[in-house]
């Protein structure tokens, strides 16, 4: 019985991770030609959904894998902010790994417990929104704590622009998609 559960968990993680990679690749391509300054992160949505459907253990593993995607992506494609998520680029350090991994792991935990409080459609939407907010709050807090001296100490301006645009879009998208997709997966799991 235990071996079957372990095989099932590996299969679930593999399917969700493949979905995350596809979302990452497609969103990278789309956002490279996207003229609107809002470029929301979408890779966290499968992490949120998996957390609710399969629990915080699988959710946190997928969140960790999301963090790995972030580290690899920022190590390969160098942007002005890559050092915030990769210790392997100039100005990156151990704190870059913390920012890339810890918030993403928490995305796989928070939605599960939020949904468990309500166990209804409202709880699903709230879990999606708070899962997204978990990423935003912990990533931006990490940037503020560990890299506040960048941009000549004007990091608050950068963080405010991110909060006002991307995070609101991410929360709305996460709320809607989690509320739409998750009920079908919960039924399939039973």
Domains of the chain by range and CATH? 2-189 (1.10.1760.20)
Average pLDDT, integer, range 43-63: 97
**Residue 129: Cβ-neighbour burial (10 angstroms; 0-12, 13-18, 19+):** buried
| Tokens read off for 149 | 């001296």
Q: What is the pTM of this model?
A: 0.91
Task: Give yes or no for a contact between 111 and 122, defined as CB atoms under 8 angstroms apart.
Answer: no
Of 151-155, 169-173, 177-181, minimum mean pLDDT range: 151-155
Half-sphere exposure of 141 (CA within 13 A, CB side): 9
Average pLDDT, integer, range 53-78: 96
Which whole-number Å values give the CA distances from 33 to 1, 74, 128, in the listed order?
A: 49, 18, 27
User: In which band, very low, low, confident or very high, does the pLDDT at 150 lie, cut at 50, 70 and 90?
Assistant: low
More confident residue, 128 or 154: 128
Mean model confidence pLDDT for the chain: 89
């Amino acid at each position: 019985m235990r071996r079957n559960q372990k095989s099932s968990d590996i299969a679930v993680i593999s399917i969700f991770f493949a979905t995350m990679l596809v979302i990452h690749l497609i969103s990278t391509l789309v956002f490279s030609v996207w003229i609107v300054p809002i470029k929301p992160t979408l890779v966290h949505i499968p992490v949120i959904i998996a957390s609710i459907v399969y629990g915080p253990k699988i959710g946190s593993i997928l969140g960790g894998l999301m963090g790995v995607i972030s580290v690899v992506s920022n190590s390969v494609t160098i942007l002005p902010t890559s050092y915030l998520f990769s210790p392997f680029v100039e100005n990156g350090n151990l704190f870059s790994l913390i920012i890339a991994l810890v918030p993403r792991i928490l995305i796989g935990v928070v939605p599960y417990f939020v949904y468990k409080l309500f166990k209804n459609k409202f709880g699903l939407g709230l879990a999606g929104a708070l899962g997204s907010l978990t990423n935003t709050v912990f990533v931006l807090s990490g940037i503020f704590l560990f890299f506040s001296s960048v941009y000549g100490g004007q990091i608050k301006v950068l963080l405010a622009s991110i909060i006002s645009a991307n995070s609101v879009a991410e929360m709305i998208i996460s709320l809607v998609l989690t509320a739409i997709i998750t009920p079908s997966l919960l039924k399939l799991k039973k």
